[in-house]
Chain A
Amino acid sequence: MSDTYETPDGRTIGGKVLEMRNITLRFGGVVAIKDISFDIREGEIRAIIGPNGAGKSSMLNVINGFYHPQEGEIWFHGEKRKPMKPYQIAQQGIARTFQNIALFKGMSTLDNIMTGRFNQMKTNLLSQMLWKGPAEREEVENREIVEKVIDFLEIQAIRKTPVGALPYGLQKRVELGRALAARPKLLLLDEPMAGMNVEEKEDMSRFILDVNDEFGTTIALIEHDMGVVMDISDRVVVMDYGRKIGDGTPDEVRNNQDVIDAYLGVDHG
């Protein structure tokens, strides 16, 4: 594939943001990811799909630094990435959401999304204690960005509500908001629509497409709902038992025999 490509709907996808090269991840004797390579390109929506236990979430955890692969290289913006702590990777501009919502339950929606700005807030502890001056200015600036995110996700009504008290669908949205607030270069979404009803799924799909469209954010997502995946993603990686069995546009993947076998089951006999 050349350096850029055009999507059917006319967007131009740029160069490689992230490249995984021959990644292998083991937990003791269990191989969670086996020799997988793929890339994620500037401005695209990249889906990772596969049956349960295929290693999709492990792959996301490798990208965001919770897991460190035993073999393989990760290239981010054309540079080989050294082994890093998750918070350092977040500082590099990779934000994520979690399969089982990891919000700060005791904090309000606003505070939760404000934590997303943590990396961009640089005043030191001392000036924060004094509050006036740089710390206050910084707080106001970042607050404006957060308010935009809140407007964008249409969650103004729950700004002050502790997120633990919110229904599931809204919590998912707040979590997306927290990731968005960081203005990430790469946004990782782990099953953003799991457990949602049709209407909530439509909302979430729209938000994902809008994020990509308005901010040009590169997105990698894991999702089980095939309809959604095929609708919103530009390219799809298919995993099964820790291996990559397919990679391409939704149409290519849909007609890939290995993928069909993995999903429908095949007699290995």
Chain B
Amino acid sequence: MFDQFLYGTEAAINGLMTGVMYSLVALGFVLIFKASGIFNYAQGVMALFGALTLVGIQSGQVPFAHLINALFGTNVHHFGWELPAILAILLAVGVMILFAWMVERFLLKHLVNQEPIILFMATIGLAYFMEGVGDLMWGSDIKKIDMPIPQGINNAIDSATYDWFGYGFYIDNLDITAAIISVILVVALTIFSQYSTTGRALRAVADDHQAALSVGISLRKIWVIVWSIAGFIALVAGVMWGAKSGVQFSLSLITLKALPVLMLGGFTSIPGAIIGGMVIGVGEKVFEFVVSSSWFGDAMGFTMNATENWFAYVLALVFLVFRPQGLFGDKIIERV
């Protein structure tokens, strides 16, 4: 039985790491939702787009190569250089900021004071538009991220746990890195929003648009900043997920994994997004571990597999019934 416990613990730790990656995506949602009340369906595509751009820039791909070649009869595909990782990252961040500016300029500006459902629809449109642009710009083949991110089994943990328990835990270095980066991001964001002028303005806009305007805060500027930060987080998430499974278009579907995280943690809480991600990550791994194990089968007469596909949604549903505002979200109280 003790070894079963060990396997379970390993699954839980791995779940925790995966959960932190869910949180990364959810974090982008929360930021935008707080500051502008928009549920940004495009967050997952932003992650994809960010990762594509990073890989494209780094490997010296010519953006819109197919389009250019078709139009001018040329045959260019590569600039023929490899950029250092740090430069590529800076350029990709620049592209995400430019993207944020364009979203504000061409989309949000025209939709001020619209119903939330209309804004939501606009972000769905944005998601598919970006997917198309991403395809056109960088091509649709699966790309490998060449970043100095440690990957593979963490030998220290493996040998330490082997010494203690006689069973080595398999924890991936990539997951550990992702978890550390996420924690740093969250702490930095929290400090920034609590203690800086712009952070205060962000919270002010999130709270009351009219009042924010009346003290001289430009909503449009704040939105560009918020979308830039969300774009940056999407880039980080995209790179982490991309490093795990290659940069491919199915990456945009992580949006769907962020949804239950948001329902659990609350749409308006940054810590909620983190904890929600971890609860879901651990929950789905441990649940899968339990219901697919032989002793569960012996006791119940059946086992289940591939529960990770639906577990998060069921958990979110349960939460919706009992705590619609999520674990940390603002309680919705309407005065009548």
Residues in A lying within 8 Å of B, measured CB to CB: 64, 66, 85-88, 90-91, 95-96, 98, 102-107, 111, 114-116, 118-119, 121, 123, 125, 128-129, 131, 135, 138-139, 178-179, 182
Partner pick for B197 among A85, A102, A118, CB 8 A cutoff: A118
Question: Residue-by-residue, is B194-207 near A (CB-CB < 8 Å gives 1, otherwise 0)?
Answer: 01111111011011
A88 vs B221: C-alpha distance in the bound complex, in angstroms? 12
Q: Give bound CA distance, A56 to B203, whole Å.
A: 30
| B117-125, B212-220, B303-311 - interface stretch | B212-220
- Min CB–CB distance A260 → chain B (angstroms): 35
Known contacts A102-B210, A104-B203, A104-B204: A131-B215 contact under CB 8 Å: no
Q: B162 contacts the other chain (Cβ, under 8 Å)?
A: no
Chain A residues with Cβ under 8 A from B207's Cβ? 103-107
Candidate in B192, B196, B203 with the most chain A CB atoms within 10 angstroms: B196
Which B residues touch A115, using CB under 8 A?
Answer: 200-201, 204, 212, 215, 217
Interface centre among B196, B201, B216, B217 (most CB of A within 10 A): B216
CB of B215 within 8 A of CB of A119, answer yes
Across-interface contacts of A104 in B (CB, < 8 A): 203-204, 207-208, 211-212
How many residues from B make CB contacts under 8 Å with A? 25
Question: Does B290 sit at the interface, judged by CB under 8 A?
Answer: no
Quick check: B216 and A91 within 8 Å, CB to CB? yes
B225 at the interface (CB under 8 A from A): yes
Q: Mark B214-233, 1 if CB is under 8 A from A, else 0.
A: 11111100000100000000
B214 engages A102 (CB within 8 Å): yes
Minimal beta-carbon separation of B185 from chain A (angstroms): 13
Q: Please tell me if the beta carbons of A95 and B214 are within 8 angstroms of each other in the complex.
A: yes
Task: Give min CB distance, B83 to chain A, whole Å.
Answer: 23
Q: Once A and B bind, how many residue pairs between them come within 8 Å at the CB atom?
A: 90
List 16 interface pairs A-B (beta carbons < 8 Å), by A numbering.
Answer: A64-B214, A85-B218, A86-B213, A95-B215, A98-B214, A102-B208, A103-B207, A104-B203, A104-B204, A106-B330, A107-B200, A111-B203, A114-B200, A119-B215, A128-B196, A135-B196
A65 to B207 CA separation, bound complex (whole angstroms): 20
Chain B nearest CB, measured from A203 CB (Å): 22
Contacts of B218 in A (CB 8 A): 85, 87
Within 8 Å CB of A98, what residues of B?
Answer: 210-211, 214
Known: A66-B210, A102-B210. A128 touches B216 (CB 8 A): no
By the criterion CB–CB under 8 Å, are B216 and A182 in contact?
yes
| A64 contact set on B, CB distance < 8 A | 214
Q: Report the bound CA distance from A178 to B192 in whole Å.
A: 21
A72 and B215 CA atoms in complex are apart in Å by 25
Decide: B213 and A87 in contact? CB cutoff 8 A. yes
Question: Of residues 126 to 176 in B, which have CB atoms within 8 Å of A's CB atoms?
Answer: none
Chain B residues with CB below 8 A from A103, complex form? 207-208, 211
B215 touches A116 (CB 8 A): yes
A68 to chain B, nearest CB (A): 14
**Is A86 touching B214 in the complex (CB atoms < 8 A)?**
yes
B213 touching A129, Cβ below 8 Å = no
A90 near B201: Cβ-Cβ < 8 Å: no
Specify the chain A residue showing the minimal Cβ separation from B216: A90
A103 and B195 CA atoms in complex are apart in Å by: 19
* Contact between A182 and B215, CB atoms less than 8 A apart: yes
Could you tell me the distance between the alpha carbons of A123 and B201 in the complex, rounded to whole angstroms?
Answer: 13
CA distance A91 to B206 in the complex (A): 20
Q: How far is the CA of A87 from the CA of B212 in the complex (A)?
A: 8
A95 CA / B217 CA spacing, docked (Å): 12
B211 near A90 with CB under 8 A, answer no
CA distance A129 to B199 in the complex (A): 10
Complex CA distance for A20 and B330, rounded to whole angstroms: 43
User: CB within 8 A of B217: which of A87, A105, A179?
Assistant: A87
A90-B216, A125-B198, A128-B198 are known contacts. Are A107 and B210 too (CB-CB below 8 A)? no
* B residues in contact with A87, CB < 8 Å: 212-213, 216-219
On chain B, the residues within 8 Å of A85 by CB distance are 213, 218
Q: Which of B192, B200, B211 contacts A111 (CB 8 A)?
A: B200
The docked-state distance in angstroms from the alpha carbon of A116 to that of B204 is 11
- Contact residues in B for A95 (Cβ distance below 8 Å): 214-215
Using CB atoms, name the residue of chain B closest to A113. Answer: B215
Residues of B within 8 A of A123 (CB): 197
* Contact between B197 and A139, CB atoms less than 8 A apart: yes
Expressed in whole angstroms, the Cα–Cα distance for A129 and B330 within the complex equals 27
Contact of B196 among A86, A106, A129, A182 (CB under 8 A): A129
Find out whether the CB atom of A96 lies under 8 angstroms from the CB atom of B214: yes
A96 to B208, CA, bound (A): 14
B195 to chain A, nearest CB (A): 7
* Given known contacts A104-B211, A118-B197, A125 and B225 CB-to-CB distance under 8 angstroms: yes
A90 to B206, CA, bound (A): 19
Contacts of A88 in B (CB 8 A): 216
CA distance A129 to B197 in the complex (A): 10
Complex alpha-carbon distance, A85 and B204, angstroms: 18
- A106-B207, A107-B207 are known contacts. Are A138 and B197 too (CB-CB below 8 A)? yes
**With contacts A123-B197, A138-B197 known, is A106 near B203, CB below 8 A?**
yes
How distant is the Cα of A121 from the Cα of B197 in the complex, in angstroms? 7
A90 CA to B198 CA, complexed, in Å = 17
